[in-house]
Amino acid sequence: MATDPFLLFDEWFAEARASELNDAEAMALATAGADGEPSVRMVLLKGHGPTGFVFYTNEQSAKGDQLAENPNAALLFHWKSRRRQVRVEGRVERVTDAESDAYFATRSRDSQLGAWASDQSRPLDTRTTFEARFEEVKQRLDGQDVPRPPHWGGYRVIPDRIEFWSDRPHRLHERRLFTLVDGRWSEGLLYP
């Protein structure tokens, strides 16, 4: 067995990018705050490797609040076209400001402006209010580079468990589980 889970993820991710109709990098992110209540939503994978899986968001959003209270998360990649999924569990840390700045600079201008205009996860009275805020930010920053908002950045999920699930006929699926033990990955199988 002794496969590196990150190399296996690279393989599966490359295959998914070639076959998924939309957003092979979409992943469900599950978090829980201090109250233990779980919450899940879709985010986009923006980097991955042996140091973990990276996504970006408004740090004052519900997920940002929950990660501040409980820096642990789970991810789920479901690639329907490949009949595969990958589950990742681990602790979460913020990426550096330099990493956040570099990624923010690659976003479309409207996405950058939207990061300033949105109070993500907070109540909104009408869509018109948000659109007006977007237009105000657009006018204010016209002709300028859009800086990264101080409340916007990245998170890295540093896994201690990674499960690779493959569909098999008659629900006799294959489940390969990698667990981090004393700094080394150990692989085993799970019953489907």
Cα 69–Cα 44–Cα 30 angle in degrees, nearest 5 = 35
- Catalytic one of 171, 175, 176, 184: 171
Cα 101–Cα 55–Cα 97 angle in degrees, nearest 5 = 25
Quote the CA–CA distance of 88 and 104 in Å, as a whole number. Answer: 25
46 three-state secondary structure: coil
Token match 């400001």: residue?
Answer: 97
Element of type H or E holding 27: strand 26-32
> Is 161 a known active-site residue?
no
**Active site (catalytic) residues:** 171
